[in-house]
Amino acid sequence: MSARDGFGQVLRGEWTKLVTVRSTVWCLFLTVGLTILLSIIGAQGSSTNVGDNAERLLEDRFHFMHQPLDGDGTITARVVRQEDTGDWAKAGIMIKQSTEPRTPYVAMLVTPGHGVRFQADFSTDVAAGAGGTPAWLRLTRSGTTITGFTSPDGAAWRQVGTAELAGLPRTAEVGMFAATPASGTRVIRRGGSTTSSPDYEPSTATFDSVRLAPAAGGPAGAWQSDAIGGGVEFADGTTLVGEASESGGVFTVTGTGDIREVPFTERGDDDIVRNALGGVYLGMIAAAVLGVLYVTSEYKTGMIRTTLTASPRRGRVLVAKALLLGTVTFACGLVASLASLLGARPIQRDRGFVPPFYPDPSLTSGTVLRAVFGTAAFLALMALLGLGLGAVIRRTAGAVVAVLALAVVPGIASSLLPVEGEKWLQRLTPLAGLAMQQTRERWDNWVSPWPGFAVACAYVALALAAAVLLIRRRDTA
């Protein structure tokens, strides 16, 4: 084999075509330019008023089986069983100023994923080591000081934490509670409009050995069942209210919600990194057209015959094309995504996406890097999809339409389908590759980053495999 026949020679030939054909150079330029342009326009047109309220935001929603406790006293209970509806589902005992939400409280509680804990006033959180149910819990009030204890057997007690609740009235509410944070998002599409709300799976806990000292004045019926903060209302209009009951000394409490301060980063739900990279929706069209033209223009001008005469091993020609196109588009895509992210950020800040609600994305963060590189890789994949379909179809018009119909249209038509249909369409089309841009949990993340990327790669692999197979078997038209 002479040197001229080597793979390096093929690569060089394809490189020359890529950088000297006017339309492919234009497409590369447009891929970068349009991506940045739409990203900046998108940032200009976005806004949020999340920063208007800088006060603490407290979530206080749970189900409470309680009765008043007059003055100092102690409550003891054993959590026999807790339904595992999430790592942070909570079941335990509480002393709370009143049944009004967001009033001060102290609680000893058990969680499925984070053991036994002492929590107070939406800020104190003390871990008492691992250990699930059954768990013995105790709270003792002395003046405005409340101390939490836990025990493996109900005999030997260990102090976990203590908290001072300034202004705690003489009579406070005391009892057993259950709560579980949102497990996801419930999306309802009905009559053409889409609404979403947090979705909850209620958690049930059972308690026994409940002792109140000094003993309650009234009969056992003095226990009252209340949904603190009200029930949960879903987007579809249904509501979920917890419940509590007592039978033979065993208490069953079912509740939803959470007791915590909502962190600043959860107060707004925009994924600012994904939004800053939104220009990819325009750039991907230029990238796909680039891939198509890189091969169909050779068919149009008849150049392909010269190419394949000079290098008769046809599969290798395509491999060389794919390698070069992929590398060059990825490099240009990286420029585009970095420029979009850095260019859009100051604008986003002006539009209200400010720290601490929206901290500046850091280029050392794994998810941000995944989004930046993933966007570049997605553009490269679109170019390769165009290349594969271009080599299969050989006509510019047909291939451009095929690649856009496959990659762009489903994303739009899907909003007319029922939510399940949209979910699967987004998972199964090449657009799934854009899941790499996710940097936070959102209800419309239908597919996780890497599986979504794998779906896009699978399309490209199929198209390129078909192209290699066909270019070997077919006459050059």
Partner 1 sequence: MKHAPRFRGAPAIAAARVSERGMGVTALHHRGGPGLVRALHGEWTKLRTLPSTGWLLLGLVASTVGLGAVTTWSIPTDCLDPDLGCREDLARVNLTGVYLAQIAVVVLAALAVTAEYGTQTIRVTLTAEPRRGLVFVAKAIVVTALVAGAGTVGVLGALAAGRPILSGNGFTTAAGYPPLSLGDEPTLRAAGGTVLYLLLVGLLSLGIGMSLRHTPAVLATVLSALFVWPIAASLLSGEWAARVMKYAPMNAGLAIQATERLDDLLIGPWQGLGVLAAYAAGTLLTGAVVFSLRDA
Q: Residue numbers of the site for partner 1 (CB under 8 A)?
A: 23, 38, 41-42, 44-48, 189-193, 237, 275, 278, 281-282, 285-286, 289, 292-293, 300, 302, 395-398, 400-401, 404-405, 408-409, 411-413, 415-418, 421, 475, 477
Residue 57: Cβ within 10 Å count: 15
Q: 284: number of CA atoms within 13 Å, CB side?
A: 26
Longest dimension (CA), the chain: 103
* Distance between CA atoms of residues 201 and 112, nearest Å: 14
CB of 412 to partner 1, least distance (A): 5
**Do the beta carbons of residue 63 and residue 228 sit within 8 Å?**
yes
Between strands 58-60 and 259-261, the pairing is antiparallel
Residue closer to partner 1, measured from CB, 27 or 377 = 27
Between 88 and 424, CB nearer to partner 1? 424
**Backbone φ, ψ for residue 35 (5° rounding):** -60, -50
Residue closer to partner 1, measured from CB, 170 or 300: 300
Shortest Cβ distance from residue 320 to partner 1 (Å)? 22
Q: Are 109 and 116 within 8 A, CB to CB?
A: yes
For the bound state, the minimum distance from the C-beta of residue 291 to partner 1, rounded and expressed in Å, comes to 11
- Secondary structure (3-state) at 71: coil
Closest distance of CB 434 from partner 1, Å: 10
In the complex with partner 1, the residue whose CB is nearer, 34 or 178, is: 34
Least CB distance from residue 331 to partner 1, whole Å? 22
Nearer to partner 1, 333 or 390 (CB): 390
Q: What is the DSSP string of 361-374?
A: P-TTSHHHHHHHHH
Which parts of 39-164 are beta strand (E)? 58-60, 62-70, 73-82, 90-96, 105-111, 115-120, 124-127, 135-142, 145-151, 158-164
Minimum CB distance to partner 1 smaller for 335 or for 404: 404
Determine if the peptide bond prior to 312 is cis (ω within 30°). no
CB closer to partner 1 out of 282 and 334:
282
Q: How far apart are CA 120 and CA 126, in angstroms?
A: 9
What distance in Å separates the CA atoms of residue 10 and residue 315, rounded to the nearest whole number?
Answer: 11
Task: Please tell me whether residue 229 adopts helix, strand or coil conformation.
Answer: coil
Contact 291, 404 (CB under 8 A): no
In the bound state with partner 1, the residue whose beta carbon lies nearer, of 48 and 82, is 48
* Min dist. Cβ of residue 191 to partner 1 (A): 4
Structure tokens at 177: 């509670």
Structure tokens at 340: 């979009």
Nearer to partner 1, 158 or 395 (CB): 395
Q: Closest separation between CB of residue 132 and partner 1, Å?
A: 39
Report the nearest approach of partner 1 to the CB of residue 415 (Å). Answer: 8
CB of 49 to partner 1, least distance (A): 10
